Structure 1
Amino acid sequence: DGLTWPDPDSKARLVVAAASDAQLRAVVRRLVRRYAPPPSRRPDDLPGNRTVPDLPPIGVLPLDPARGTTHRDLAAQLGLPRDPAAVAAAVLDGTPRRLDLLRNDGGSVTLDGALLGAADDSGRPLHWRGRVEVDDAVLSNGDDPLLACAIGNAGGYARLDDVALLGDPDPTDGLVEVAVAVPVVTRSALGRKRVRLEVRRARGRAVAVLPREGKVPFLDDGAEGELSRKRSWWTEPGAWAVWAG
């Protein structure tokens, strides 16, 4: 909390030692809560597509160096160093790399992405229903059974098992990529019933998800939660930054 920002002398360096993306997200969420101005005090120089100013760059120190090879965490996706000496060099002599941030109306933020849906005890996905909109595009009106909904700023939730949900999410393009997986029943020429998975995708500035019945479990940057009411995510282009080597 003693960090001064903006820092004209550029002497302050913030390093976050994190064992998971959820821990890194918690720090960025605190930065947003501290620096985001209330709507009534919005500064004139704040870009029209932003609600927060440029946040101070963060040095990311992954506490599990091997995690980047077993799981594509955000540091691995961004190609950030994992060795402490290399992280220190990036923080001291590197350059800031600005990245998009997702805010939501629940008061939190998303750095990588979110995955909505659940599975039974055998690991089979469970159907749920909800309306999913990306800007003016409707991916589901709430009538279709959904297996999953992926919201991507980066690519951590681009795949569900062997199914490609997101195409190529880019945390620097100012857009959020969204996909829903819908099971579609078809019949062969012999009348046999088959189920194929239809993936619908869209990109935009904002996405809204409204569950139609009950609660929908989700993972947001690895943090678990349940969605029971409408939730909206929107993009803050270039709002946060990491020190890159």
Structure 2
Amino acid sequence: MYDVVLLTLGSERDAPGGGCGSGDACCGGTSDPAGKPPAAQPDAGSQTNTGGERCATPRVPVLACADELTARGARVETVTAYSDAEVDEVLARLDAPARPDGLTWPDPDSKVRLVVAAASDAQLRAVVRRLVRRYAPPPSRRPAELAGNRTVPDLPPIGVLPLDPARGGPHRDLVAQLGLPREPAAVAAAVLDGGVRRLDLLRNDGGSVTLDGALLGAADDAGRPLHWRGRVEVDDAVLSDGTDPILACAIGNAGGYATLDSLPLLTAGDPADGLVEVAVAVPVPARSTLGRKRKIRYEVRRARGRAVAVIPRDERVPFLDDGVEGELSRKRSWWTEPGAWAVYQG
């Protein structure tokens, strides 16, 4: 018999007394960027969750999933976390017994299973980020059993219960991309009887993680992409040396992340190949068929590798990272942690 924790992230306005820690566990975990959102749009559904009303409404899928888990013999607890500390209290149940070296480590034989009821990819990312912060050892205390291409151990698998059924449509969320179950009964079956699928994780030197992808760039009030400049390197490949007027830069960890005017930026994303896919779109002037007008077409440069670094030349570059808004003002590096996190699948 398993103990299953169904974790929902509440918005700070719902919390008694308010307050939401660092923002990771808020209903979308966003910050306000300068400028407009990127002109290129994520074709996965990891959009910023601005619908605070959802967090104040009892989730029918959570209740249905809890009932199904109970009917299958699991002991179920539903928890709504309003802060990082409350998320951490739940994650502590996945800890292994105390180690001689004092490191906090996940228990591979735990009888506790975690289901994250997520209204957006950003909320799922918030939980995985707390898992990384909990279990990543300091470099000075790196244990011998940790793989050479990893900075974190195998994180405990997560069951994912989508709270927005519409995100399985044209604007797909990560659950749809990965082909995971969406209905509460199917999620319950996957958590108790399904297999575990290990997936790559992107960490970055800003202290966060990326499950799906990041999109760098901005648009004006009319939705036209604004040029920005920066150096973009993928391992030894240079996609931009800092002199190109970049329209968009997509960094993908899963199955293809963004489009620009219906042009796919990423085409070969694989969430379990140990590589990050990066694309840079730059304008290229071209003449029309009549030779009278000059129009702009897009050139997309792509590369795949273990790590990517972006060094902005402009003062601020807005971005979306798993749907969470931010702003890049200095060098940021992402690197791949192969197979670091995992999901239950049917």
Match of 1:234 among 323, 335, 341: 335
1:215 is aligned to 2:316: yes
CA positional deviation for 1:187:
4.4
Structure exhibiting the larger radius of gyration computed from Cα positions: 2
Q: Deviations over 1:65-121 (max 9, x none)?
A: 222114211000001111111101100111110000000000000000000000111
Distance 2:162 2:287 in 1: 49
CA positional deviation for 1:191:
6.4
1:67 is aligned to 2:167: yes
Indicate if the aligned counterparts of 1:158 and 1:167 stay in contact, CA closer than 8 A: no
Q: Which moved more, 1:59-68 or 1:203-212?
A: 59-68
Indicate if the aligned counterparts of 2:318 and 2:327 stay in contact, CA closer than 8 A: yes
Match of 1:224 among 293, 315, 325: 325
Distance 2:148 2:234 in 1: 19
Measured on the aligned residues, the alpha-carbon RMSD in Å equals 1.4
2:191 is paired with a residue whose SS is helix
1:81 is aligned to 2:181: yes
TM-score for both structures, normalised by structure 2: 0.69
1:102 is aligned to 2:202: yes
TM-score for both structures, normalised by structure 1: 0.96
Indicate if the aligned counterparts of 1:145 and 1:183 stay in contact, CA closer than 8 A: yes
Distance 1:9 1:74 in 2: 27
CA positional deviation for 1:156:
5.2
Q: Deviations over 1:144-194 (max 9, x none)?
A: 000000000013523233111111100000000000000012346846423
CA positional deviation for 1:7:
2.8
1:196 is aligned to 2:313: no
Distance 2:162 2:175 in 1: 7
- Structure 1 unaligned regions, length at least 5: none
- Structure 2 unaligned regions, length at least 5: 1-88, 97-105
1:206 is aligned to 2:307: yes
Q: Deviations over 1:127-157 (max 9, x none)?
A: 1111000000000001000000000001352
Distance 1:9 1:129, change over 3 A: closer
Partner AA of 1:230 in structure 2: K
1:243 is aligned to 2:344: yes
1:140 is paired with a residue whose SS is strand
Q: Give structure 1 regions of 4+ aligned residues with deviation exceeding 6 angstroms.
A: none
Indicate if the aligned counterparts of 1:113 and 1:155 stay in contact, CA closer than 8 A: no
Indicate if the aligned counterparts of 1:72 and 1:156 stay in contact, CA closer than 8 A: no
Indicate if the aligned counterparts of 2:197 and 2:344 stay in contact, CA closer than 8 A: yes
Aligned residues: 245
Which residue in 1 is equivalent to 2:261?
A: 161
Partner AA of 1:117 in structure 2: G
